Structure 1
Amino acid sequence: MDRPFELGLNSFGEVATNARGKDLSDADTVRLLVEEAKLAESVGLDVFSVGEHYRDGHMDSAAPVLLAAIATATERIGLGTSVTVLSTNDPVRLYHEFATVDAVSNGRARLVLGRASVTESFPLFGYDLTDYEDLFEEKLDLFARLMREERVTWKGKTRAPLIDQRLRPRMPEGGIPTWIGVGGSPQSVIRAARFGMPLMLAVIGGRPERFTGHVELYFRALEEFGQPVLPVGQHSLGLIADNDEEARELWWKHWRPLVAQLSKERGFYAPDRERYDLEVDTGALFVGSPETVAQKIARLARTMHLSRFDLKYDIMHLPASARARTIELYGNEVAPRVRELLARPEEAPPARSSAHH
């Protein structure tokens, strides 16, 4: 690998259950996230990220506040977002918030910016979905300039103009690490390359290898835009337990009602056990024992030229104890095993016999 491989955790602030199977309160769930970030740091993980959602059961609606709280409770781990919906954020406010998080955390802040796969924030903050593409493009242009230029003069359609504006506190020169989150759009891949930002692939269903073409497109576009080679990461869902059967059964119990709801809302496939097992075996669910999950991460890291893998470990009503066990096993067993596997020389594929010609 050209750069150290990073392993991180993503949370959408989803409500957990306690030892008696009762949902935690909203406030308890927020505090749980701080404790889970501390645990992630203690087991040696590289990044802890939170999302941005505005729906029942998700406590990640104020990511900069959460990350600032986590910053004061940790010392080393990177602090980021699994997605920040730039389209419905103001770039100036976002700069202020994350420059402050970066200062509080002593340089540990990072971002993943996205257009939004769920759109509750548009009506909530008074934006029109018909402006979906224009909002993101224009706001990304402004945010990139605010990070990379000392003083900015800017005029656009989505907010008031800026005239020779210098924001405080200042980010480090060049800004903080900022990735573009992509769910499948080739146009978004090209945009990430054009702005010179790393690519984060949100792979939540189907075979992850189908994104290999997106990675190849990204590297070609970087070259055409005169950009250096930049990192590619993957965000996927999963759970790690002491053995494969325990992990599969526990995740199935909580994944099935979630996908059933999404199938009604967004036209996803209805969940069934055969499809679920296929997702675990060859698809986008990283569910199993530490060895099973480590092998899958390492294989895809090679296939897709990844520099980072983020595991979304929380799912609605999952016991807090199972979340903690995932974090412990991920840091203590999966992460070192992945690095061991990636340090080995890549094996050549077996020669094809004449019987297959």
Structure 2
Amino acid sequence: MEIGLFTFGDIGTNPQTGLTVTAPERLRNIVEEITLADQVGVDVYGLGEHHRPDYAVSSVAVALAAAAIQTKNIRFTSTVSVLSSDDPVRVFQQFATLDGLSDGRAEIIAGRGAFIESFPLFGYDLDDYEDLFIEKLQMLLEINKQEHVAWPGSKHTQALDGLGVYPRPVQDPLPIWMAVGGTPQSAARAASLGLPAAFALILGGEWARLAPLLQLYHQTGHSSGQDPSRLRTSLNAHAFVHETMEKAMDIYYPAHSARMGELGRERGMSAQSRETFTAFCGPRGGYFVGGPTEVAEKILAAHEALRFERIMLQFGVGVIDHRSMLDAIEILGTRVIPEVRRGLAKCS
């Protein structure tokens, strides 16, 4: 099992210090965090694409490329690339370039995204939300298969009559995952295409609620005749680790509460109380927050039930002090990951 980190590059006011974190500062901090994650043995690092004033990352491949030449082992992925409002040719080229810079460590997680700002920004109609993603995903997969692409084009994509798409990646093919936001339709589509699937556990609850979706994914893949080795799954969840559960929650809750409260007000949702947050940090809750042992034990328990091949932990929900982020990454790499590896070895 791979253990990774991801962030959206949250910016704004730190609720604990009152200091404002700007986009340039956060981007430079992200590069430092990725470099440390590589050094302490984190397997994967992901950045999510957004086009809002509260996130620093709109160009995932560019930001990851800044870290690619400073690292040796860690893999890079988008979490996610908003394919619906982008050009599949450019998405492929950008990540193929990242793959070259990193000597074969790049991946794409393609999805619709959790926000809609990119649609009007790039001139797309939200009424085409579903069709845009399906058509552009199919085009991206064709580009990934062959250098010269025979793509007929249609309403939302241009025709490619045997044109070459360059550069080609070091990996052949470039790994492409599909983001699954919690619907049976998305899980079934990813499986029928033979794509690895990243299942998002974002709004808390219990991690066990994803079990039916993962079961559907594997059943659909099997009935579609897909190679079982291609049917890989990832669990993506809010998380934070520090020396103790109390310390982790004291650092994480103010930032998490502020950011989720802002998003909740936008969407007409009520704020999450400290009691609810604490419950979601419990052994079966959807937040992987705690001391090293609590987080390791929760990862092992979730893996035993869901059998995912990767877990991606979103440490930076809200604006958190950079020093605290570095401390958390070091604890994850030096204490949590070894404990998880030992637990997996005992079960094998």
TM-score after normalising by structure 2: 0.94
The correspondence of residues 109-258 of structure 1 with structure 2, limited to 5 A, is: 109-154=106-151, 155-172=153-170, 174-204=172-202, 205-229=204-228, 230-258=231-259
Query: How many Å separate the matches in 2 of 1:211 and 1:153?
Result: 38
Letter in structure 2 aligned against 1:266: R
Q: Is the 8 A contact 1:52 1:62 kept in 2?
A: yes
| Count of matched residue pairs | 342
Q: Which residue of 1 aligns with 2:66?
A: 69
Contact 2:46/2:78, CA 8 A, preserved across alignment: yes
Aligned pair partner of 2:57 in 45, 57, 60: 60
Equivalent residue, structure 2, for 1:342: 344
Where does the alignment leave 5 or more consecutive residues of structure 1 unmatched? 347-357
Whether the 8 Å CA contact 2:3–2:42 is kept in 1: the answer is yes
Secondary structure at the residue paired with 1:344? helix
For structure 2, the 5+ residue unaligned runs are none
Task: Kindly indicate whether the alpha-carbon contact (under 8 Å) linking 1:21 and 1:319 is maintained by their aligned counterparts in 2.
Answer: no
AA partner of residue 188 (structure 1): S
Cα pair 1:99 1:169 within 8 Å, conserved: yes
Q: Which moved more, 1:148-157 or 1:44-53?
A: 148-157
Instruction: Give RMSD over aligned pairs.
Output: 1.7
Tell me the SS of whatever aligns to 1:271.
coil
Aligned residue for 2:91? 94
Deviations 1:4-23 (A, max 9, x none): x1011101111275996522
* 8 Å CA contact retained: 1:15, 1:23: yes
DSSP 3-state at the match of 2:5: strand
Q: In structure 2, what is the equivalent of residue 263 of structure 1?
A: 264
* Paired residue secondary structure (1:60): coil
The equivalent of 2:81 in structure 1 is 84
Alignment counterpart, residue 286 of structure 1, candidates 265, 272, 288 = 288
Aligned match of 1:353: none
SS at match of 2:316: coil
Q: Is the 8 A contact 2:100 2:170 kept in 1?
A: no
Q: 1:138 corresponds to which letter in structure 2?
A: E
C-alpha displacement of 1:174: 4.2
**TM-fit CA distance, 1:310:** 0.7
Aligned equivalents of 1:189 and 1:20: distance in 2?
41
CA distance in 1, matches of 2:91, 2:126: 20
Superposed displacement of residue 134, structure 1: 0.2
Hey, what does 1:298 align to over in structure 2? 300
Amino acid at match of 2:218: F
Name the residue aligned to 1:36. Answer: 33
CA contact (8 A) 2:15 2:319 kept: no
**Counterpart of 2:326?**
324
- Conservation of the 8 A alpha-carbon contact between 1:37 and 1:70: yes
Output one character per residue of 1:316-339: Cα deviation in whole Å (capped at 9) or x when no partner: 221111111110111111111111
SS in 2 for 1:164: strand
Render the CA deviation track for 1:266-290: whole Å, top value 9, x for unaligned.
2334211221111111321111101
State TM-score, norm by structure 1: 0.92
Secondary structure in 2 matching 1:306: coil
1-structure distance, mates of 2:86, 2:16:
37
Question: 1:141: Cα distance to partner?
Answer: 0.4
Partner AA of 2:194 in structure 1: G
Question: In structure 2, what residue type is equivalent to 1:305?
Answer: R
**Aligned letter for 1:208?**
W
2:8 corresponds to: 12
Q: What percentage of aligned pairs have identical amino acids?
A: 36
Q: Counterpart in 1 of 2:274?
A: 273
Contact conserved, 2:180 with 2:187, CA < 8 A, in 1?
Answer: yes
**Which structure 1 residue ranges, 4+ long, deviate > 6 Å from structure 2?**
none
Alignment partner, residue 312 of structure 2 = 310
Please give the secondary structure, in 2, of the residue aligned with 1:270. coil
